[in-house]
Amino acid sequence: MYLSNLGNSFLCRFERSGDLIDVDKAISAHEQAVHLTLDGHANKPNCLNNLGSSLLCRFEHSGDLIDIDKAISTCEQAVHLTPDGHADKPGRLSNLGSSFLRRFECSGDLIDVDKAISAHKQAVHITPDGHADKPMYLSNHGNSFSRRFERSGDLNDVDKAISAHKQAVHLTPDGHANKPGRLNNLGLSFSHRFARSGDLIDIDKAISAISAHEQAVHLTPNGHANKPNRLNSLGNSFLHRFQRSGDLIDVDKAISAHEKAVHLTPDGHADKPMHLNNLGNSSLGHFGGSGDLIDVDKAISAHEQSVHLTPDGHANKPMYLNNLGNSFSRHFECLGDLIDVDKAISTHNQAVHLTPDGHAHKPMYLNNLGTSFSRRFECSGDLIDVDNAISAYDQAVHLTPDGHAHKPMYLSNLGNSFLCHFDHSGDLIDVDEAIAHFKSAAICFTGFPSVRFRAALKWVHLASGVHTSSSSALQGYSVVFDLLPQVAWLGQTILARHRELSSMGNVASEAAATAISAGKYDTALEWLEQGRSIVWSQLLDLRTPADAIREKEPGLADDLVRVSQALEHAGSRDAGTQNISSQSNQDLSMEQVAQGHRRLAEEWERLVERARAIPGFEDFLRPKKLGQLCSAANAGPVVVVNVHKQRCDALVLIPGLDEVMHIPLHDFSYEKGQELHQSLNRLLSNAGVRVRDLRGSRLVATRKDGSFQHVLLILWSCIVKPVLDGLAFSVSDSADPPRIWWCATGPLAFLPIHAAGIYDKRAPGDNISDYVVSSYTPTLNAIINATQSRELLQKFQGLLVVSQPNTPEQSPLPNTTVEMTHIKQHALDKFVVYPLEGSVASVKSVIEGMESHSWVHLACHAVQNRVEPTKSAFCLHDGHLELSTIITKQFPHADFAFLSACQTATGDEKLSEEAVHLAAGLLLAGYCGVIATMWSIKDEDAPVIADCVYSELFSDAEPDSTKAALALHHAVKRLREMKGDKGDLAFLSWVPFIHVGA
């Protein structure tokens, strides 16, 4: 007994110190105790159990298989000699199960893990509820299921693991020394299920479980034997989520945790290869975001050490080889050195060869082998390489069950290989195979949305290029638009969604061009509406009134309102602005906020589905069909101009007509649009046009084909005149010409369609203003929503006038006071005008004023942020009123806004289809119509426009914002008469003023 107690003491010290001398002494003492205890003695099972525990501990550090075999043998004897009903039987069964599990991790033999599960199951079963050790037995049972899942890929195993770990965590009181470890195990199981399912909630739960004990990890001294494993697990979960979210903060945290785990793991420890392997994985993940070759070099170094330290025959050797191959492959991708790709193929081949059939990781290893062959083929052109790639990818797809998160990626890779084969063979069968695999990837019901989205795009591009029938391409574009909201997901911030969309190109215009070529004009228009201003549309959906649903299900309506408001707030959050004292608390708080945002998005999706289940609400928040979109043209034609490399067309909605008029624009092209955009940018740059300023624009000589006249001439002859002719418009002598709305795509979104015309030889009917009053709209929905909102407005609540003649750190704008004077003169005593001038015009006071007034006039500087468009802002006395702030507001009386500032209707060129500018932001905030500027205006010109506009708007008994477009039409005509239209400087003065909205 004394020897056994001595051994236990050495073992306790070893568990704290990690000093192998202690465990050697523990084993020696326990061996003597077993040897000196007679067979049949009541203490014999206890002595055997203690010896087995000591051998297991030494194996966990040394990796010596002799130790684990002896541990199993002695634990089996201890269990066998312990009678049923004995209080120590569960503990001895648990030790036996842990020994089998450890041997399985080394050998990969499923018999071992099955025995581990059996032993742990018995231990849990015979332990009464309330017993102090039950949580430990449940945790061990969960670990066994988790390990078997890693080998088999059977979701039942990981579900059972999660169930057992949840019970273990629940039964372990807060403050218990083992609570962090059990939370860690639960988090690992969620990570494993995420890797299989791709369900974001699993990885969030993993992070939550592990984050809950992150502070406990920080408080655990570096010498504690379990700290490296906890750090390693934490790093893995951050890495998994990075692979789903692409957020570099996650991969930075993963690297930090893995580096600490490696540093704290002594040389010779059995877990050192695993920790090095995971550090290599994190470094490689970071390279995907940074592109820094140093990351790949670090990954190769870590992975090579991991492979070198792992003995042949170890169950993890194939995984470490696979990851080393991945690092070599990425290194080759950077430098093009064939030695790297040869090494990648060699190590990947070894990984596949050493992995038994039926192993859950085999498809992944085959996929990576295929990638290495594909990369070598790109360099060598040897068809044997691409054939080998196809073979490897095909096996990976065949071995991967439907519903696996990685299946879309494997299918896409297989499609890419067939495409590469086609490039060299010219055989259309290869193209058909590629299309089939891209299609299969796109329509998978699981997997990363970005992977499926890219697969869908490849599907449609191939189908459009080689098939005479357009049906396959049109089917593919339908899938593309179904996936768009998942890629730019409500569970992300607005900034993150815009970043996603900026990399997608002009997919809406591309799809519309394909539909137009097929004669499906209604589909083309619906796709243009569905695929543009996506983030704005999402925000408008969140603001959809729930009154109709409230009549059917009041509780559902309340939930929709609650979640929609919370989602709006969450989407506009700026994680970097949180003020939390400690870094760990800040990380935890930001993490909780982000997870809460994702849960809200998921809840919103469920609520919308519930609403659609109500009879009569089947189309609730679905994209509008043509029949609903036609109402956008109630007040006049709406012309949607689609500009794409395939073709350029105008799709027109006409009042009273329930079909789309198609007007082909044969003389215009995407390239011509880009040239005009570049010419306009040069003109503005040469003229020094940046901000509203006292100084006039300077005249710089330009080529005739780069002048303003040339830009406006091309817009007239190639776009506007064909549209006006198609609509049978004639020159109007009326003081109230007909209205027309323009909705432009691609480079045309930055060009002044409203000013198109021939100006060098002026004659009636040679420019657009002779025929119509022009307005713009970012989408058809914007007109529909503005019209509906205006119908609900009550009595005019006054005009807020903001004037900033001397904004700190900005150039003076003395004429803003002149604007205010003109407005007051026209309002007289009939209408309420509330002025905010100079220092009184703070961000807070302006927002409060907008909340209480119907109209707002902003005479101030404005800035366009190219990096983060929602940071574009009006410059007020105490700071910036940003677009991100405006769009979160719902101004109850909002009707009309006059933005007498620079570039208030100019968006980000990378987001030309998203209308991310101040004018569109005010439409989103509830304003029905907005006067804005396409570029900077001269300070002296603004009062002229304001004077003329308000003289008309205030001419009736009640202010009428529906006249804003016409008033601006007359005002611009007046300014044009003052400035002329014979030179670039004149055009710079009157062309930028536009009307947006209803």
pLDDT, tens digit (0-9, with 9 covering 90-100), for 937-955: 888 899 999 999 999 999 9
Q: Which residue has the higher pLDDT, 197 or 480?
A: 480
- Report the C-alpha gap between 941 and 972 in whole angstroms: 10
- Dihedral angle at the C-alpha atoms of 463, 468, 469, 474, nearest 10 degrees? 40
Task: Give the per-residue pLDDT at 871.
Answer: 86
User: CB–CB of 414/440 below 8 Å?
Assistant: no
Asked which of 111-120, 264-273, 895-904 is least confident by mean pLDDT, the reply is 895-904
Domain ranges within the chain, ordered by starting residue: 545-620, 626-776, 780-997
Indicate the helix (H) or strand (E) that contains 876.
strand 873-876
Average pLDDT of the segment spanning 456-469: 84
Tell me how crowded residue 618 is: count the other CB atoms within 10 A of its CB. Answer: 10
The tens digit of pLDDT for each residue in 324-381 reads 999 999 999 889 999 999 999 999 999 999 999 989 999 999 999 999 999 999 888 8
Q: Could you tell me the CA-to-CA distances from 613 to 485, 549, 976 in Å, in that order?
A: 20, 11, 56
- Report the C-alpha gap between 91 and 126 in whole angstroms: 10
Domain 780-997: CATH architecture, name and number where available: 3-Layer(aba) Sandwich (3.40)
Closest among 881, 998, 979 to 931, alpha carbons compared:
998
Residue partners of 372: CB distance under 8 A and separation at least 6: 325, 328, 329, 341, 344, 345, 348
Classify the phi-psi angles of 196: left when phi > 0, otherwise alpha if psi is within -120 to 50, otherwise beta: alpha
Closest among 363, 364, 371 to 345, alpha carbons compared:
371
Closest among 803, 812, 884 to 845, alpha carbons compared:
803
Residue 755's pLDDT band (cuts 50, 70, 90): very high
Residue 581's pLDDT band (cuts 50, 70, 90): very low
Residue 752 scores a pLDDT above 90:
yes
Residue 18 scores a pLDDT above 70:
no
- Report the C-alpha gap between 495 and 498 in whole angstroms: 5
Rg (alpha carbons) of the chain, rounded to whole number:
35
The beta-carbon contacts of 194-197 under 8 Å, at least 24 apart in sequence, are 194/240, 194/244, 194/405, 195/240, 195/405, 196/149, 196/153, 196/155, 196/158, 196/404, 196/405, 197/155, 197/403, 197/405, 197/446
The tens digit of pLDDT for each residue in 885-918 reads 888 888 999 999 999 976 665 655 555 556 568 8
Closest among 841, 837, 854, 835 to 894, alpha carbons compared:
854
Give the pair of three-digit tokens for residue 958.
Answer: 């009640």
Which of 55-69, 489-503, 778-792 shows the highest mean pLDDT? 778-792
Which of 48-62, 821-835, 962-976 shows the highest mean pLDDT? 962-976
β 873-876/862-863 pair status: antiparallel
Residue 257 scores a pLDDT above 70:
yes
Average pLDDT of the segment spanning 704-715: 84
Residue 475's pLDDT band (cuts 50, 70, 90): very high
Residue 407's pLDDT band (cuts 50, 70, 90): very high
- Report the C-alpha gap between 644 and 577 in whole angstroms: 40
Residue 286 scores a pLDDT above 70:
yes
Q: What three-state secondary structure class fits 995?
A: strand
Average pLDDT of the segment spanning 725-744: 95
What burial letters (b/e) apply to 341-365, b meaning 16+ CB within 10 Å? bebbbebbbbbbebbeeebbbbbbb
Asked which of 39-43, 208-212, 632-636 is least confident by mean pLDDT, the reply is 208-212
Indicate the helix (H) or strand (E) that contains 773.
strand 773-776
Packed helices 44-62 and 89-107: angle between N→C axes, nearest 10 degrees = 30
Per the document, the length of the chain is 998
Closest among 569, 543, 560 to 609, alpha carbons compared:
560
Average pLDDT of the segment spanning 477-490: 93
Residue 237 scores a pLDDT above 60:
yes
- Maximum Cα interatomic distance, the chain, rounded to a whole number of Å: 119
Residue 846 scores a pLDDT above 80:
yes
Average pLDDT of the segment spanning 34-47: 84
- Report the C-alpha gap between 545 and 785 in whole angstroms: 12
Indicate the helix (H) or strand (E) that contains 304.
helix 293-309
- Report the C-alpha gap between 182 and 480 in whole angstroms: 42
3-state SS string for 815-859: HHHHHHHHHHHHHCCCCCEEEEEHHHCCHHHHHHHHHHCCEEEEE
User: CB–CB of 902/936 below 8 Å?
Assistant: yes
3-state SS string for 182-210: HHHHHHHHHHHHHHHHCCHHHHHHHHHHH
Which of 378-382, 426-430, 590-594, 968-972 shows the highest mean pLDDT? 968-972
Residue 421 scores a pLDDT above 90:
yes
Q: Which residue has the higher pLDDT, 287 or 213?
A: 287
Rounded to the nearest integer, the mean pLDDT of the chain is: 89
Residue identified by tokens 């708007």 is 953
Q: What residues form DSSP beta bridges with 773?
A: 739
Predicted TM-score (pTM) of this structure: 0.82
Average pLDDT of the segment spanning 391-401: 97
Indicate the helix (H) or strand (E) that contains 740.
strand 739-744
Closest among 175, 105, 167, 97 to 139, alpha carbons compared:
167
Closest among 544, 413, 436, 535 to 484, alpha carbons compared:
535
Task: Give the per-residue pLDDT at 901.
Answer: 76
Residue identified by tokens 């406990």 is 216
Average pLDDT of the segment spanning 799-813: 90
Give the pair of three-digit tokens for residue 255.
Answer: 């690297």
β 929-933/993-997 pair status: antiparallel
Q: What percent of the chain has pLDDT over 70?
A: 93
Asked which of 135-144, 196-205, 444-453, 692-701 is least confident by mean pLDDT, the reply is 692-701
- Report the C-alpha gap between 557 and 535 in whole angstroms: 23
Task: Give the per-residue pLDDT at 113.
Answer: 95
- Report the C-alpha gap between 223 and 17 in whole angstroms: 6
Q: What percent of the chain has pLDDT over 90?
A: 61
What burial letters (b/e) apply to 714-745, b meaning 16+ CB within 10 Å? bbbebbbbbbbebbebeeeeeeebebbbbbbb
Q: Which one-letter DSSP state was computed for residue 961?
A: G
Q: What three-state secondary structure class fits 863?
A: strand
